[in-house]
Amino acid sequence: MFTFNIKLTGNKLIECREITNRIYLPFVKSIMNGDSVIISNFLDKIIEYAVIDKSQIKKLNCIDKFLILLDLRSISINNNITFNNGVLFSNLSIEIDQIGTYILESIPSITKQYIIDDLIKLEINIPTNLSYEFTDISNTIQSIQIGSDLIQMNSVTNKMRENILNFIPAKLFNQVLKFVDITTKSMEHIHIIKGNEKLGINRVEFNVFNNTLFEFIRAIYNEDLLNLYKMQYILMSKLNFDNDTYLNLTPNESHIHLNFYNEELKKQQDEYDKNNNSPSK
């Protein structure tokens, strides 16, 4: 099993393994389905699969998860993406690993804060979830302590989370909003994709308090499912890969084998054309 380290916020390093067709194919299906909740749940599954030390997962914020998914896309699938008017552009290529490097170099140092009012103590920080259903302000609250009772927000149900938030006094909630505003402004200079008006490329902002990171990950993992099935058919029918062998390959490895096969076909065709087009002696 090939593993590699990914650099995260706060100079953290996390060891990950590549994702294979076994997990990639159903993920592409979920993207085609278009259900954001299902897609966000699948992203969590991908991170859980890839991260070697599972105890580190609960310590990840949404920027860390974004960086992990960028590197997994770069190493397991392809390091290049193309854009046109914010979506696809056949002549413009951007390297994914450069995006991650730029973000790490640009991100300001942000530490958790505590807001205290009488018997209530809130811990707030960068949101932990990329998940579509948690893009509201509650994603910023990591824990709440009421008297001696400590509640970790990532361990409660959506309904319980809603009830807890309704319990928080307005003046505490206003301080949470202030933290969101200050943090957002501290990242205004950062972009995921730098815009280019001449090429029709829209700037993609970097914002941890909306769906920007989630939507960008969804876009770069989206692929034509039919092409994936065609590749699977060729590798299994022409190169005699069995199903398990194919599913245990990374998408990148699958493309490499397919390219070898296509190159061989081209050589055979060129040889055939050469022999049949040569003048008779």
Q: Which of 130, 163, 186 is the last residue of a domain?
A: 186
For 37-72, what is each residue's pLDDT tens digit?
Answer: 899 999 999 999 999 999 999 889 999 999 999 999
Q: Are 70 and 16 in contact (CB under 8 A)?
A: no
Q: What are phi and psi of 191, to 5 degrees?
A: -130, 155
For 198-217, what is each residue's pLDDT tens digit?
Answer: 656 677 889 998 889 999 99
Q: Which of 160, 186, 212 is the last residue of a domain?
A: 186
User: What pLDDT does residue 201 have?
Assistant: 66
Number of domains making up the chain: 3
Q: Are 51 and 14 in contact (CB under 8 A)?
A: yes
What is the spatial distance between Cα 72 and Cα 276, in angstroms, rounded to a whole number? 47
Which residue intervals of the chain are DSSP H helices? 21-33, 36-50, 62-72, 96-106, 158-167, 170-186, 212-221, 225-237, 243-247, 251-277
Domain limits at 195?
3-107+188-223
Q: What are phi and psi of 280, to 5 degrees?
A: -70, 140
263 and 158 in a common domain: no
213 and 100 in a common domain: yes
Q: Which helix (H) or strand (E) holds 123?
A: strand 120-124
User: What pLDDT does residue 86 have?
Assistant: 44
Inter-residue long-range contacts of 196-203, CB under 8 Å, 24+ positions, other chains counted: 199/89, 199/92, 200/84, 200/85, 200/89, 201/83, 201/84, 201/85, 201/86, 201/89, 201/92, 202/85, 202/86
253 and 203 in a common domain: no
For the chain, which residues score pLDDT lower than 70?
83-92, 131-136, 195-201, 278-281
241 and 128 in a common domain: no
198 and 68 in a common domain: yes
194 and 83 in a common domain: yes
Q: Which of 170, 186, 202 is the last residue of a domain?
A: 186
95 and 8 in a common domain: yes
Torsion of CA 210, 216, 217, 221, to 10 degrees: 150
98 and 38 in a common domain: yes
User: How many Cβ atoms from other residues are within 10 Å of residue 29's Cβ?
Assistant: 13
151 and 234 in a common domain: no
13 and 95 in a common domain: yes
What is the spatial distance between Cα 254 and Cα 179, in angstroms, rounded to a whole number? 45
User: What pLDDT does residue 90 have?
Assistant: 45
User: What pLDDT does residue 158 have?
Assistant: 76
80 and 12 in a common domain: yes
| Sequence-distant (≥ 6) Cβ neighbours of residue 139 within 8 angstroms | 62, 127, 128, 129, 209
Token pair of 279 as six digits: 């003048």
126 and 208 in a common domain: no
User: What pLDDT does residue 103 have?
Assistant: 94
User: What pLDDT does residue 116 have?
Assistant: 82
pTM: 0.88
